Amino acid sequence: MIGLDWADQKHVWSMRTADGHRQRGELVNSPEAVEIWAAELALRFAGQPVAIGIEQSRGAVISMLSKYSHFVLFPVLSTSVSNYRKSFTPSGAKSDAKDSDLILDLLIKHPEQLPPLRPDTVETRSLQFLTEERRKLVNLHTSQVQTLTNWLKQVFPQVLHWFEDVSTPLVHDLLLRWPTLPDLQKVSSKTLLNFFHRHNCRSQERNQQRLAEIPHAVPATHDPALLKAGVLCIQNTVRLLTQMRTGISALENQIAEVFRSHPDRAIVESFPGAGAVLEPRLIAAVGTQRDRFPSAQSLAAFVGIAPVTEASGNSLWIHWRWACPKFIRQTFHEWANCSIKSCAWAREFYDQLRARGKSHHAAIRALAFKWIRIFFRCWRDRVPYDEQRYLRSRQARNAETPAPVPPAHGKAQPRFLFKTCGDFQKIAEISY
């Protein structure tokens, strides 16, 4: 067993062999050094499995180590190592060698808390990488659109009035050719009309309105310093947005190609509200290893939708989960939000929670928690979602629950018996 404290230049490892001997060493962070180290370990232990605990589940070090069949990798949470260190050194002292010892100690004493890293299928991992990178690029694109809007407000605010969306190729090409209002006012109406038509902007009323307003528009500023910087920044931002738009399109084409051949495609396509963007993300979120999640509650806890309960003495605090994969939680949150537009019972459930005073996001999380239980059953059994079947099942469960009988005399207060369902409380029985 090996505890590996990784770093950018070199790693420190601490090893305990089967006969109890301990050894420390350093490893240069390069594929060549890792290749030699892996070969030495394979020769020393005759190809037997070598357990390696490391504070990483994805990254450069994991990529280099995972290609060796005799290495079994055990990802360790960095917060676990940090808290474990504080229990022995409250002063805060730390070193790479000591951290490698702590990782090894966790691997030896708490193996049940450290599941080994089991890579999913190539298709699933491709979707995981591609969907995450697409989302990052979309976020960068949004940030650059905000930057462009900020500069346009200072230098050329009329563009924001003439065009509803400044992230389109129409606006970008216009700003590259005529970055200021005086430049645009020098162009003839015929040239501008042809420009609009080439960009599929054929609304005659809208085009005539723009052509009528351009000659009478007034520049927002005459400050040469602001104009010089603004024009340069606007054109640089436009070029970045053009490249990002091309990159997003390429990622989406690759995602669609991988998604078409995925075996779980039919399952996620059956759910309402997912669509072309969220369907691959749902597959990437859960993968294909059915034994990874023993229950719907474990899946809800992993994705961060299930709340966390902290109880001590007479105090009880229920809050949303902080330690979770944020992108996966965002996937289920966005799917639940989209489902209320195309699923009647989801909309009804959401409206009921809003009527009870729940905020929008709290209601969406509760709906996502409900969807996860349905999703888990379909995913585990490898069957598509059937809304009519779900509605019949819900109706049958409601029919089995006896209705409360009010008292014959007086106005006795009802007594509610609650049961816990995935950290949520629901009524199990009503009596008087």
- The amino acid present at 273, given as its one-letter code, is G
Q: Is the pLDDT of residue 384 over 80?
A: yes
395-425: per-residue pLDDT in tens? Answer: 887 766 554 444 444 444 445 455 555 555 5
Residue 25: strand pairing partners:
13
The Cα-based distances of 100 to 20, 76, 145, 175, 233 in angstroms read: 16, 11, 45, 55, 48
Measure the N-to-C terminal CA separation of the chain; round to a whole number of Å: 61
Distance CA 289, CA 120 (A): 7
**Are 66 and 17 in the same domain?**
yes
Q: What is the pLDDT of residues 78-110, one digit of tens each?
A: 999 999 999 888 888 889 999 999 999 999 999
In sequence order, the 6+-apart residues with CB closer than 8 A to the CB of 152 are 159, 160, 166, 234
pLDDT digits (tens, 9 = 90+) for 288-305: 999 999 999 999 999 999
Choose the final residue of a domain: 214, 241, 258: 258
Tell me the C-alpha to C-alpha distance, in Å, between residue 230 and each of 172, 180, 238, 243. Answer: 15, 9, 12, 20
**173, two tokens:** 């090409």
For residue 401, the model assigns a pLDDT of 55
Average pLDDT, the chain: 90
pLDDT number for residue 349: 93
Can you tell me the distance from the alpha carbon of 318 to that of 320, in angstroms, rounded to the nearest whole number?
7
Q: Are residues 377 and 413 in the same domain?
A: no
Cα–Cα separations (whole angstroms), residue 252 to 134, 257, 331: 7, 9, 16
Q: Which domain holds residue 303?
A: 266-397
Q: Which of 99, 119, 139 is the last residue of a domain?
A: 119
The residue-averaged pLDDT of 277-283 equals: 96
Distances (CA, A) of 347 to 108, 155, 340, 350, 353: 49, 44, 4, 5, 10
Provide the domain count of the chain.
4
Band of pLDDT at residue 192, cut at 50, 70 and 90:
very high
Q: Are residues 416 and 391 in the same domain?
A: no
Average pLDDT over residues 74-78: 93
One domain for residues 296 and 319: yes
For residues 113 and 137, membership in a common domain is answered with: no
Chosen domain end from 241, 258, 275: 258
How far apart (Å, rounded) are the C-alpha atoms in residues 362 and 217? 46
To the nearest whole percent, how much of the chain has pLDDT over 90? 78
418 and 359 in one domain? no
Whether residue 214 is predicted with pLDDT greater than 80 in this model: the reply is: yes
| pLDDT score recorded for residue 360 | 95
Shared domain for 386 and 347, answered yes or no, is yes
Check pLDDT > 90 for residue 381. yes
Mean pLDDT of the region 57-71: 93
Task: Give yes or no: residues 100 and 133 share one domain.
Answer: no
Same structural domain for residues 78 and 186? no
Same domain flag for 335 and 367: yes
**Residue of higher predicted confidence among 431 and 362:** 362
Question: For 229-267, what is each residue's pLDDT tens digit?
Answer: 999 999 999 999 999 999 999 999 999 999 999 999 999
Per-residue pLDDT band for 393 (boundaries 50, 70, 90) equals confident
Q: What angle do CA 364, 367, 371 make, to 5 degrees?
A: 130
Q: What pLDDT is attached to residue 392? A: 87
Q: Which CATH number goes with the domain that contains 161? A: 1.10.287.4070
> Distance from CA of residue 29 to its chain's centroid?
29
Is residue 273 domain-shared with residue 313, that is, in the same domain?
yes
Per residue in 314-361, pLDDT tens? 888 888 888 889 999 999 999 999 999 999 999 999 999 999 999 999
pLDDT at 64 over 90: yes
Q: Are residues 107 and 134 in the same domain?
A: no
Domain CATH code at residue 87? 3.30.420
